[in-house]
Chain A
C-alpha cells in the first residue's frame, strides 16, 4: 500500500473514531448531530491523511512527518472548531487538541509504513 492510500485510510478511520468520541464528551445537542460530526471528522482525517501521505513520499523523517500531520490536522480542526456547534458553543480545545494528535499519529504511520512510489524514491 502506498503512503498516500495509507494516510487516506488511516485518516478516515481515526477521524471517524475521533468524531465518535463526541458521544462521550459532547452535550446532548451535540450528540444528536453525531452523524454530521462523524462525517465531518472523517473527511477532515481523510484530507489530512492524504496530505501526510504525500508529505511522507517527499520527506523521509519521522519527526517532520509527525509535525506535519500535527500542524495540518490542527489547521483543519481549527477551521471546524471555529464554526459554532449546534448548541451555539465553540469547542476549540475539544476538537483541536485531539484532532491534531490524530494528525500526528497519521503522520507517524505514513513515515514508518507504506511504500514510496518509484518516482519519489528516485
Chain B
C-alpha cells in the first residue's frame, strides 16, 4: 500500500475539519490557513450577502480550555474596534461543539509580500505608521499583540493596513485588575507557536501555512493564562524577554517587533537616511527593554520625524550631519536663494566693469 503524500494528508484533514455550513447563516468554502489551534475558512454570510472568514477550532484541540482560548481570542479582537484591526462579527459553536468566530475577510497582500515588492519608501513608511497606529490602539486598550510579524499584517490595495491574529495577545488591563499580569494567550494550543498560524486568522487569498516554529508547546496546558515561563511568539520577531519566557512582557515587546518590521520594510534604501533609520531600528530593537522606545507612539513619532527630515530622538547628530539634513530638507529654498545671490554678485561685477 502506498503512503499518502503530505499534501494529500493536508487535503484529507482539511476536508474532515471543514464544516459545510454553520447554522443557517454561513456557507463554508475553502480553507485559507491553518494553525496549531484551528483553521480559517472562507465563508459566505447569507444574511448579509458578503464573504467572511471563519476561524474554527481543530477537532483534535476540542476541550474546554481550547474552547475558552478561542473564545477569548475572539473577545479580545472584538474589543479592539479600530480600522487597523480585523473586526470580529460573530461567535458560536458548531454542532460537534467546536467553537468558531466570524471575522472580516481581509483582502490584500501580506506585509512580507509588500517587503518583497517595489513599493516606494514613502508608501512603506505610511504602512508602518498605520501599523503603529493599530498597535498603539491595542496597547491603549490594554492588549499586547506579542506576535507582530509580516504574516500577521495585511496591506490592502489602497494602503489600508490590518493587524491579524491576536491569538497570543496579552491583556495587561486584566492583569492590573487582578493585581498580577495575566497572559491571555489563547491561541496556541498545541503544536505550533502559538502558532496561530499566520494565516490561521489571516483570511485572504494569499494565506500560506504558518512559518512560526513551535515555541509554544510549553504552554499547552496554559489556560487561559499563559503559564509563567512559557515562550510565546515567533523566533526572529519576538523580543528577547519573550524568548526567555519572562512573564512580565509588556508593550515594549511589540515595540521590538515593530522595530524588526521597520528594518524589514525599509531595508537598504538610498532614499532614507541610513544612519538615522538604523538608529531608530537599533533603539526599537534594543535587547534591554528599558533602552527601547517606551511606547509605540514614541517610535512612530521618530519615524514621522525621519520622514519629515527632522532630527530623531534615537540619534544624536553632529553639527555637520545637522547642517546636511537641514540643507537637504530645504534644498529648494536654498537653491533659489543661492541663485538670487549669485545673480546679485554677477551684477555687481557687471556694473563695475
Contacts and interface: CB of A to CB of B under 8 A. Distances in A.
B344 A21 contact: yes
- The listed residue with most A CB atoms (<10 A of its CB), out of B333, B339, B340, B348, is B340
Interface string B306-345: 0000000000000000000000000011001101100110
Nearest to A24: B348
Interface residues of B, number: 12
B347 A25 contact: yes
A97 B340 CA distance: 8
Interface of A: 21, 24-27, 62, 66, 93-94, 97-98, 101-102, 104-105, 108-109, 112
A98 to B, nearest CB: 5
Contacts of B344: 21, 24-25, 98
A101 B348 contact: no
Question: Interface SS of chain A: helix, strand, loop or mixed?
Answer: helix
A108 B333 contact: yes
B48 to A, nearest CB: 35
A92 to B, nearest CB: 12
A105 B351 contact: no
Q: Which 10 A-B pairs have the closest CB atoms?
A: A101-B340, A25-B351, A25-B347, A105-B336, A24-B348, A104-B336, A94-B347, A25-B348, A98-B343, A21-B344
Contacts of B348: 24-25
A27 B352 CA distance: 9
B136 to A, nearest CB: 27
Interface string B197-238: 000000000000000000000000000000000000000000
A66 B281 CA distance: 37
B339 A112 contact: no
A112 B333 contact: yes
11 contacts: A21-B344, A24-B344, A25-B344, A25-B347, A25-B348, A26-B351, A66-B332, A94-B351, A101-B336, A105-B336, A112-B333
B339 A101 contact: yes
